[in-house]
With several copies, the nearest count.
Chain A
């Protein structure tokens, strides 16, 4: 159950290695990586800026994790969301869920992303 908000990029492999080092009985790891889509209308590559509401962001993402944990049998979860300036194909968000069972890992990971998209106070500005 970890939440991080950061301007710097994240290293999916390093995060997975940390989660896998736990002693839990993990059978399934589902990972979601969200990336900036190509906003380009022509030759100009656009950038976007991600703003958030410090304090509320961390609280809402922790609440999302808690809600997922109450619904499904999950061992661990990790949410990393970037803020600040981003360009096309940059990584924006990482959600990882580990569970003894694959269906629960999928359900919890997708739930967290859906919830994050509709409830967490982030705003993209092109």
Chain B
């Protein structure tokens, strides 16, 4: 399936871009799967997505946890804990 991925704050700065369109293999079904998939890119990706770093995820503008399912056409965002206010 095709999804769009957005990165924010220090995650954006680490991977060095803010958005990408990705064609995912059918084995990627959840946020956890997607993190594992991105971690395989090596270097900063591995550091960010395979460790126990706190990375929050949203699907279509809703905060979700790691077991959330991803569907074709979704907008998935990864970001550190929020610090507004």
**Chain A residues close to B by CB (< 8 Å):** 34, 50-53, 55-56, 59-60, 81, 92-93, 102, 113, 116-125
Contacts and interface: CB of A to CB of B under 8 A. Distances in A.
Contacts of B62: 56, 59
A51 B9 CA distance: 7
21 contacts: A34-B85, A50-B84, A51-B8, A56-B61, A59-B61, A59-B62, A60-B61, A93-B84, A102-B85, A113-B85, A116-B84, A116-B85, A117-B84, A117-B85, A118-B82, A119-B63, A121-B82, A121-B84, A123-B10, A123-B82, A124-B83
B84 A81 contact: yes
B37 interface: no
Given A119-B63, A123-B8, A53 B58 contact: yes
B48 interface: no
Contact of B82 (A34, A55, A93, A120): A120
B77 interface: yes
A56 B6 CA distance: 12
A56 B62 CA distance: 7
Contact of B83 (A59, A60, A113, A122): A122
